[in-house]
Amino acid sequence: MLFSLSLLDNVYDMKKCITFIYCCFGAIYVHAQQSDSLFVRNIFNELMTHSTSYDNLRYICKEIGPRLSGSANAQKAVETTVRMLKQAGADTVYLQPCMVPHWVRGEKEKGTLQLKSGKSVPLHLCALGNAIGTPAKGIDASVVEVKSFEALDQLGASKIKGKIVFFNIPMNPTHLETFDAYGESGIARWNGPSQAAKYGAIGAVVRSLASNPDDYPHTGSTGYNDSFPKIPAIAISTNDANYLSSQLQQGNVSSVWFKTSCSMLPDEPSFNVIGEIKGSIQPAEIITIGGHLDSWDLAEGAHDDGAGVVQSIEVLRTFKALRYQPKRTIRIVLFMNEENGGRGGDAYLAEAKTKKEKHVFAIESDAGGFTPRGFSNMMKPAAFEKLMSWKNIFQTYGIDDLHIKNSGSDIESLSEVGAELAGLRTDSQRYFDVHHAATDTFESVSKRELELGAFSMAAIAYLVSEYGL
């Protein structure tokens, strides 16, 4: 009986001990959460009151302008962002070499729609990136409209040979996330010209990848298949696409004529720009934060991706201003050649493999300087679970859209060296009004939205630096 009472006492004491331990660890966890929330608030206050991102973006857009890979302006962007990273307080700033494609647009493109009535209607058009130019006199031919690759295949060479194929594939408005619609319709721009050439087409016209009707053509890369002839390829505005389609349906179209002068030159040497804060406890573990330096040549590349560049620099500046010493190394990477080749991302991965670097996390901002909504992630379950444990911190600032989907084209291959990946997720409803078009200017960016995006990246970078993934 005495033995039984002693055993019960021991069990009771054990329960009290377990309860005590649980309460202690619970209190530590709550304290840590509160401490993190306070520091994230400090990040927010510092960034929203002293940010240099908007002024940096103004300089990049207005003093440099379009920054297509291989161009003189792309090199100016390299030199300028080296200076900006040094001014932000980076421990070290260096250049990572890469060879990049050098495509030039040449003279302003021209084109008209010839109606059977004799009327000539000017088209709002631009050459697709990496496309070849037309002969000196342009090309003039009848037009065949298709709304899918299946329709193209059904027509075949008998109805396509010697003609211009018009790919009229609108972005699907039923997708709430406009990037989903872009992914579906973008096949016409990337694969359309080669698929048309397979059946003997002499040119391709692609409906611009824009969510709304307007008169601005949107460029972007096309990819030629070496198994088929390379043919000239242009994009026309959504308004012109609608008009051309209606006239074709009514049987009013005689032909389309267009002339382009674009060409691909030999590859040029260029650089990724990198700035670092060395980690204090686990410096070998690298957190990559980035955007891409290059932009298309029709405008200033403000949203795509000047915003991502200056937001990344701002993360570093804010940490330095707060005298925060990260546990893991924070590496800002401004990638070259995202738009028409991806060579900067390739060079970064290759060096990471060569040096056997340990990459724990990477985040890219390449969805414009619009209001941040959360992070789109490519993470293993355990890492995603840890991300979700911080959701209450993010929710305070409206950053609550956290889901597994994708990250960014420059960083997605870093999964090969162990990195968990994320992309800054913004409100995308207006993004395709400016994407790859003449409307992508500094004036289209909201200072506050831009800074909120930079804060979002800084917040997640701080938490990963402190606790890993």
Q: What is the pLDDT of residue 13?
A: 55
Contact call for residues 294 and 409 (beta carbons, < 8 A): no
Same domain for 167 and 284, yes or no, is no
Is 23 part of a structural domain of the chain? Answer: no
pLDDT at 247: 98
Across the beta sheet with 263-277, the strand order is 92-104, 263-277, 328-335, 282-292, 358-364, 420-426, 372-378, 401-404
The residue among 217, 242, 261 that closes a domain is: 261
3-state secondary structure of 335: strand
Both 275 and 396 in one domain: the answer is yes
Query: How crowded is residue 51: how many other Cβ atoms within 10 Å of its Cβ?
Result: 22
In a domain, 203, yes or no: yes
Please report the DSSP string for 340-406 in residue order: TT-HHHHHHHHHHHHTT-EEEEEEE--S-SS-EEEEEEE--HHHHHHHHHTHHHHHTTT--EEEES-
Q: Is the dihedral of CA 76, 82, 87, 88 positive or negative?
A: positive
What was the pLDDT predicted at 19?
46
The answer to whether residues 124 and 221 belong to one domain is yes
pLDDT digits over 373-408, tens only? 999 999 999 999 999 999 999 999 999 999 888 899
Q: Are 219 and 141 contacting, i.e. CB atoms less than 8 angstroms apart?
A: no
SS3 call for 69? coil
pLDDT at 32: 56
For residue 233, what are the CA distances in angstroms to 60, 197, 415?
A: 30, 11, 34
Does residue 53 lie within any of the structural domains? yes
CATH of residue 360: 3.40.630.10
**Backbone phi, psi, residue 63, to 5°:** -90, -25
Query: Which parts of 255-329 fold into alpha helices (H)?
Result: 307-321
Q: What's residue 12's pLDDT?
A: 45
Do 225 and 315 reside in the same domain of the chain? no
List the beta bridge partners of residue 285: 358
Q: Look at residue 29 and tell me if it is in a domain.
A: no
Count of structural domains within the chain: 2
Identify each DSSP E strand in 208-320 by its residue range: 233-236, 253-259, 263-277, 282-292
Q: Which amino acid is at 196?
A: A
Q: Which residue has the tokens 């679970």?
A: 385
Q: In whole angstroms, how far apart are CA 294 and each of 276, 347, 374, 411?
A: 21, 15, 25, 15
Can you give the residue range of the structural domain that contains 64?
42-100+265-467
Where the chain has pLDDT below 70, the residues are 1-33
**Of the listed 338, 357, 412, 420, which one is catalytic?**
338
Q: Which of 261, 283, 310 is the last residue of a domain?
A: 261
Q: Give the pLDDT confidence score for residue 391 in this predicted structure.
A: 95
Would residue 338 show up in a list of annotated catalytic residues for this protein? yes
Regarding whether 181 and 193 lie in a shared domain, the answer is yes
167 and 132 within one domain: yes
Please check whether residues 349 and 402 belong to one and the same domain. yes
Q: Is 19 a domain residue?
A: no
Between CA 141 and CA 64 the distance in angstroms is 39
Q: Are residues 186 and 323 in the same domain?
A: no
Measure Cα distances from 43 to 49, 61, 87, 195, 433 in Å: 10, 26, 19, 50, 31
Q: How far apart are CA 371 and CA 398, in angstroms?
A: 9
Q: Quick check: is 4 in a domain?
A: no
- In 74-155, beta strands by DSSP E: 92-104, 110-115, 120-122, 125-127, 139-141, 143-146
Assess contact for 137 and 259: CB atoms under 8 A: yes
The verdict on 304 and 317 lying in the same domain is yes
Shared domain for 425 and 361, answered yes or no, is yes
pLDDT digits (tens, 9 = 90+) for 156-202: 999 999 999 999 999 999 999 999 999 999 999 999 999 999 999 99
User: Exposure of 354 by Cβ count < 10 A (0-12 exposed, 13-18 middle, 19+ buried)?
Assistant: exposed
